[in-house]
Amino acid sequence: MGYGIFMHRADSIYDDSPAERYQFPSQYLDRAAQCVNDWIVYLEPRKVRGSRGYFAVARVEKIIPDPTAPQMYLALMADYIDFPTPVPFNINSAPVERGLLNEQGRLSGRAQAAVRPLSAEDFRRIVDLGLEEDATLLPRTDAPETNVGLEDEQAPFEFETERNRVRSLTSRPVRDRAFRRVVLNAYDERCAISGLKLINGGGRAEVDAAHIRPVEASGPDCVNNGIALSGTAHWMFDRGLISLSDDLKILISRQANDPEAVRAFVNPSGQAMGPILHRDRPHPRFLEWHRDNCFKS
């Protein structure tokens, strides 16, 4: 087992869905196999315009031959988390992934490999930077915060510290906080259903990060399975009184006890507000799941 880097770009020719699977050619099989039952970091290549750099972390459950493409394989993923703070390839003119430097301190050819090993130290550094917290986007709560943060950058890197960090990546509080930040940033802290952006007296957004396909139904913690909703919209969405078409048209259930009031609440255009970036839009597969399993048509 070992950590790794998987390169991915939104316009890839490969059949990738980062939260669920990563397709790669046979030449990378040995390297990818070393990551089974361990964690990888996703990297968007620097040549991509506006590259996010290191943008997510996930665990490789297993690798199987791709039944639809000869000489291709699929790494099946679990426990995916988008980084609320994507990490650039370079910080202060030095690569964050320091294992890419050769003996002369220059960038080696390993930086071009789409699948490559990642040292434990580099994994820790990238994950810590990617999950840095923004207090203004933490979940609203009256209860004291549980100390679930990751260790300080200067803490000694020991085996137990590494295992604690890995455990934190599957912790529900850590994942919920990261998911909230990613979704609220994607929607500019605005409710997709009503179009309203409300900030409370404490400077926090009065909007929730809702899963389209719930975690309890194997829904991943990725931005494409999320939508920003006010408390009322979230309640109606979870109970199937409203849903969305693939093109984000707002659907209102005929079983709503006051459909006119619901229509008055939603965006007058009848269209949900999408995220700022097209790549962050809800995936049709998750929307379909919500219509088939939650929406009371």
**Residue 37 contacts residue 56 (beta carbons within 8 Å):** no
Question: Would you state the pLDDT for residue 143?
Answer: 36
Residue 104 confidence (pLDDT) above 60: yes
Distance CA 253, CA 274 (A): 21
Burial class of residue 63 (count of CB atoms within 10 Å of its CB; 0-12, 13-18, 19+): middle
- Structure confidence by residue, pLDDT tens digits, 155-181: 444 444 555 667 789 899 999 999 999
More confident residue, 151 or 3: 3
Q: What is the mean pLDDT of residues 80-103?
A: 94
pLDDT digits (tens, 9 = 90+) for 50-65: 899 999 999 999 999 9
Rg over CA atoms, the chain: 20
| Amino acid 133: pLDDT | 72
Position 195 scores a pLDDT of 93
Helices (H), ranges, 55-137:
120-130
The answer to whether the beta carbons of residues 115 and 256 sit under 8 Å apart is no
214: Cα separation from own chain's centroid:
14
Distance of alpha carbon 238 from alpha carbon 214, whole angstroms: 9
pLDDT in tens, 11-43: 777 778 899 999 999 999 999 999 999 999 999
* Angle, helices 120-130/159-168, rounded to nearest 10 degrees: 40
